Amino acid sequence: MTTQSSNIYPVDSQTSQQFYINGGWSSPATPASLPVVNPATESVVAEVASGSAEDVDRAVAAARAAFPCWSATSAEARAGFLGKIYDLILERKEPLAQALSLEMGAAIGFARAMQVPLAAEHVRIARDLLSTYRYQKVEGGTAIEREPIGVCGLITPWNWPLYQITAKVAPAIAAGCTVVLKPSELSPLSALLFAQLVHDAGLPPGVFNLVNGTGSEVGGAMAAHPDIDMISITGSNRAGALVAQAAAPTVKRVTQELGGKSPNVLLPDADFAKVVPLGVMTAFRNVGQSCSAPTRMIVPRDRLAEVEALAAATANAIVVGDPQSEETVLGPIANEAQFKRVQAMIESGLSEGAKLVCGGPGRVPGHETGFYARPTVFSEVDSSMRIAQEEIFGPVLCIIAYETLDEAVAIANDTVYGLSAHVQSSNLDRARAVASRIRAGQVLLNHPAWNPMAPFGGYKRSGNGREFGVYGFEEYLETKAIVGFGG
């Protein structure tokens, strides 16, 4: 195995054609590669190695061999490694941001201000938890012990590449687990930089391993692998279901953070001039490519015209363009397949009779090359429409009117998803009462600041398990009861 120099940015061609296994860079068992396309130019900017079941076997063997020693290390030692990783993410913020902009079209300002710093926060939280978490509690004469579950297979998506990697890797290794990571083949460059960063932090060989490749080949092999004790996947419902099916024969733990169709309920007493623009920008953050995006704005019918005007003014003012420009707010959709999906869903909204307030199908004028979608707002949307039921994953907002509070709550819950929700009201007690009636794993009142300790995960088809903070950390632990411990 060869070790790549830590000061090569962006990812060079040698590293991109290798995996990180057992503490070093290693070539795939069978040479194969996948293109990485810059969505702003539609050009291939890199080729990355594409793995196979044999590569997964090597990575799992390394993780399994490393588990006994790593799981026995002290919390203080694990916190030390996480602290080094945290510092290196901040130190290398610029190359990481540039990789994110290149591989998935994130506006460079957004990558610098959100994608990278929030990813670093997951590492900091995991590090800090280790100083306070109690692995043993004695209740009566019984000791309840929490122990690392073992080898974890981590499958991450293309829309928040680095953020989702740290949301899984940091708590897993903090808990004492060893990991095999499969990042999305559509945005793998930031993952390769992260692997080098982990190496430079001095993490022992085998604790962290990375194998690039497709979901069907590498993800499927990981899900079915008998020596992987747990799978954590963030992705589509289809991918989550396939992973769960492949994992079932080995009865491993499977946690899933899947799709969403999040509501944003505006109560009549909300400050509409404030919350409507905030709601639009929150829905369109990351070009609408967030599973928690509040893309259904549920508003009083007698305020519909006002909401339409505010939403249109906000959406029309958004600067869409070259992700390398400091002025750009929204870059392109991250890949061609998703761009086509967004266009098809906009056409569906038109064909089903929704009112087009602004935007619409087609590319942004002046950007005939690149997967640039027009920020689009529909009104007079009915809950039975596809655009109100299906996750679009693009800058498309649906405005749905209600007559009564009970109807607003019913509309909010009228979906197979239950990941996130928003409620806006000038009266916090009213907002709390509505939040308690919404079937979602996380409800945000009046656009609060992001809280990395708040558990994140879904009801219904939005998944199983939780990420972030203590709840995300505990997903990587087993529970052991020692009865008679107190004599």
d(CA 116, CA 189): 14
CA distances from 431 to 18, 53, 63, 437, 459 (A): 51, 50, 46, 10, 20
CB atoms within 10 A of CB 181: 26
Q: State whether residue 244 is helix, strand or coil.
A: helix
Q: State whether residue 43 is helix, strand or coil.
A: strand
- Are 206 and 27 spatial neighbours (Cβ–Cβ below 8 Å)? no
CB atoms within 10 A of CB 253: 18
Amino acid at 386: R
- Helix or strand holding residue 170 (H, E): helix 161-175
- Are 182 and 219 spatial neighbours (Cβ–Cβ below 8 Å)? yes
Looking up tokens 């073992």 gives 150
Give yes or no for a cis peptide into 39 (omega within 30° of 0).
Answer: no
Residue of 103, 121, 257, 308 with catalytic role? 257
Q: Which residues pair with 480 in a beta bridge?
A: 145
Tell me whether residue 47 is one of the annotated catalytic residues: no
Tell me whether residue 257 is one of the annotated catalytic residues: yes
d(CA 169, CA 173): 6
Residue of 152, 177, 291, 358 with catalytic role? 291
Q: Which residues pair with 21 in a beta bridge?
A: 24
Q: Which residues are catalytic?
A: 257, 291
